[in-house]
Structure 1
Amino acid sequence: MLVDAHCHLDFSDFDADREAVFARAKREGVQHFVVPGTMRSRWKNVLALGQRDEVSIGLGLHPYFIQAHQEEDVDALEKMLDNNTEAIAIGECGIDARLSNTWEQQWQFFNAQLRLAKAHKLPVIIHCVQVNDQVAKRLRQLKLPAGGMIHAFSGSPEQAQAFIDLGFVLGLGGAATYPRAKRLQRAIQSLPDDAFVLETDSPDMPLCGQQGERNEPANVATVCRHVAALREQSDDAIVNASTKAATRLFTLPLDS
């Protein structure tokens, strides 16, 4: 049983054929989907998907949509967590160094969500682009009790180990399929079996050879095969390791 540990199935990209997307994924062995939130106005769509048995959800404020966020959105997130929503994680949240003009705002929203994760003892789903060392430093300071996931990890083996030491798992997705991603491939080869989950980031993060196309959860099976080849392990070994890690991190309702 495969888990897509990070896919945005609430996005409008899937409005025309969402059920077909689920069906294609299930034919590839993908049986559970973690859908993180990105902005307050879309939480209702995420929560609606969370009513499905095969979907678990996170709620968060993504740095890419920083212009849409208001300070009161953090209070709204806290209220939803206090009222026992079905969220199994906080996120997607984090820092993207490519958006340098919103750097200070990004850190404000990120820090606020990290504090909520600590208070509610929930894992956090982190968007971390070109800031692995800075984010690891902040996580080291906070000592989050439930750890979390570094989504779309693309760093070095040393950076990977720093996150693992902090109780985090690394999300492996489309980037792992690109031959030029040598540093990431070395990191993937170095990971313990309990330190990674598989993801697609659908509709984004396309696989090699699919640039410009919509990504979807069925492709997590292809990611699995690439990770297995890099680690010189069987596909089944990668399926078992990644699903076990995702189930442990997010307390997914899956049979052991």
Structure 2
Amino acid sequence: MQIFDSHTHLNDTPYAGQEADFIQQAADLGVTEMAIVGSDTVLNDGALRLAQQYKALSAIIGWHPESAKDYTKVQEAQLIEQLQLPEVVALGEIGLDYHWDTSPRDVQRTVFERQIEIAKSLHMPISVHTRDALEDTYKILKETDVRDCGGIIHSFNGDSEWLKRFMDLGMQISFSGVVSFKNAREVHEAAKLCPLDVMLVETDAPYLTPTPYRGKQNQPGYTRYVVEVIAKLREVAPEEIAAATYANAHRIFKLGAI
């Protein structure tokens, strides 16, 4: 069984100096490839460094809504240059976060829209973060006609109606450890209904640790438990979920045949 963690932060502080160990631990659990996601200058550079160092890793770089207030023309020029490196497979994570509100909401929306424009110009998919902002996220994706570049709703936490609305825009749907949480009933239902040809799996490590390790630090290898819980919800073999999501990640990230 081969699993692709489509969204993880091995470039973050908890893993510093231990990246090789976590990559091996992931491989031991069947997680053989992963996309390392940035969110600002430091974490973008870290994602690139890891993707250049390890063949099984790819980079996703962009400006997270929490860092939108720090996005400038200088940062944009650097981002555009880095996006054209061969290790980069998507622009992200970008979007809206109305939970923490560390950047003004109008700034978040402007930076989100601008990065979608860049992705479209480069024919590159986007990885979208949305927290307490589903309506505005949907509105921007629809108005910017995101089909021109395609993308992923990362760590999907909506209900079946939101699943349908985002799929209607041509978005892929990525499930994280949230799908294993006992009280996340709407996400459980969405995971049952999501067509396999648009589904991805992720950890969002070091966050959102899935059962059976909830409460402990997450790690990329735990994508296996996301696969297993989705398989249980859908009453299919984990190998079926792993194979479909692995193929989907290769397709959207343009990584070639598997």
TM bucket, shorter chain? over 0.9
2:186 is equivalent to residue 183 of structure 1: yes
Any idea what the Cα deviations from partners look like across 1:120-157, whole Å, max 9, x if unmatched? 11000000112222212211121222311101100011
- Give, in whole Å, the separation in 1 of the partners of 2:105 and 2:86: 30
1:98-137 to structure 2, matched below 5 A, reads: 98-100=99-101, 102-137=104-139
Q: Which runs of 5+ in 2 are unaligned?
A: none
2:30 is equivalent to residue 29 of structure 1: yes
1:18-97 to structure 2, matched below 5 A, reads: 18-51=19-52, 52-81=54-83, 83-97=84-98
Specify the alignment match of 1:9 in structure 2.
10
Contact 1:74 1:112 in 2 (8 A): no
Please report the RMSD computed on the Cα atoms of aligned residues, expressed in angstroms. 1.6
Specify the alignment match of 1:221 in structure 2.
224
- Give, in whole Å, the separation in 2 of the partners of 1:66 and 1:87: 20
- Give, in whole Å, the separation in 2 of the partners of 1:173 and 1:188: 10
Contact 2:3 2:30 in 1 (8 A): yes
- Give, in whole Å, the separation in 2 of the partners of 1:252 and 1:177: 28
2:210 is equivalent to residue 207 of structure 1: yes
- Match of 2:152, SS? strand
Q: Structure 1 residues 56, 108: closer, same or farther in 2, change over 3 A?
A: same
Any idea what the Cα deviations from partners look like across 1:23-62, whole Å, max 9, x if unmatched? 1100111111101211013322211111121011111011
Contact 1:56 1:252 in 2 (8 A): no
Contact 1:34 1:58 in 2 (8 A): yes
- Give, in whole Å, the separation in 1 of the partners of 2:105 and 2:213: 31
- Give, in whole Å, the separation in 2 of the partners of 1:111 and 1:119: 13
Contact 1:133 1:159 in 2 (8 A): no
Contact 1:74 1:109 in 2 (8 A): no
- Give, in whole Å, the separation in 2 of the partners of 1:118 and 1:67: 22
Specify the alignment match of 1:153 in structure 2.
156
- Give, in whole Å, the separation in 2 of the partners of 1:164 and 1:243: 19
Specify the alignment match of 1:198 in structure 2.
201
Q: Displacement of 1:212 after TM fit?
A: 3.8
Percent identity, aligned pairs only, is 26
Any idea what the Cα deviations from partners look like across 1:208-248, whole Å, max 9, x if unmatched? 35344210011000110000011111111101111111111
Contact 1:61 1:93 in 2 (8 A): yes
Q: Displacement of 1:78 after TM fit?
A: 1.9
- Match of 1:6, SS? strand
- Give, in whole Å, the separation in 2 of the partners of 1:54 and 1:217: 12
Normalized against structure 2, the TM-score is what?
Answer: 0.93
Contact 2:206 2:218 in 1 (8 A): yes
Amino acid at match of 1:169: Q
1:135-174 to structure 2, matched below 5 A, reads: 135-144=137-146, 145-174=148-177
- Match of 2:197, SS? coil
Q: Which runs of 5+ in 1 are unaligned?
A: none
Contact 2:69 2:108 in 1 (8 A): no
- Give, in whole Å, the separation in 1 of the partners of 2:21 and 2:88: 25
- Give, in whole Å, the separation in 1 of the partners of 2:70 and 2:215: 26
- Give, in whole Å, the separation in 2 of the partners of 1:240 and 1:64: 34
- Give, in whole Å, the separation in 2 of the partners of 1:64 and 1:210: 27
Number of residue pairs matched? 254
